[in-house]
């Protein structure tokens, strides 16, 4: 079985005082199967925001919206999930981030 993929990303970030807003957009084309007969497209949109609590601490959260379709048509499987808050602690040149990664999906 052979797999090949190509993806493009758009990354945006805006600082508004202590608030940081971020957007990541991804489009991915995958070809799978013995003769690459199966192809699928994935679109991902990730929105995030964080607030600087102090010079060494930020807290924030993200929301992921992801859809996947086969052969550029048919029904798309949608995954949308809010991520719970995350916290980052900075010390010298190192970051330590705490977060959890739950997953909620719907195929329909």
Q: Above 60 in pLDDT, residue 51?
A: yes
> Domain limits of the chain?
2-98
Smallest CA-to-CA distance from 26 within 7, 47, 5 is with 7
Question: Beta partners for 51?
Answer: 19, 59
Q: Would you state the pLDDT for residue 10?
A: 93
The model's pLDDT over 60-94, given as tens digits with 9 standing for 90+, comes to 888 888 888 776 666 666 666 666 677 777 787 77
| Alpha-carbon gap, residue 52 to 22, rounded angstroms | 14
The secondary structure of residue 93, as a DSSP letter, is T
Instruction: Name the DSSP class of 106.
Output: B
């Amino acid at each position: 079985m052979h797999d090949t993929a190509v993806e493009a990303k758009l990354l945006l970030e805006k600082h508004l005082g202590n608030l940081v807003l971020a957007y990541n957009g991804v489009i991915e084309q995958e070809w799978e199967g013995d003769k690459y007969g199966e192809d699928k497209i994935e679109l991902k949109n990730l929105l995030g925001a964080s607030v600087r609590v102090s010079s060494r601490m930020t807290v924030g959260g993200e929301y992921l919206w992801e859809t996947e379709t086969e052969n550029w048509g048919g029904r798309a499987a949608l995954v949308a999930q809010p991520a719970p808050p995350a916290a980052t602690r900075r010390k010298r040149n190192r970051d330590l981030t705490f977060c959890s990664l739950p997953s909620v999906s719907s195929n329909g």
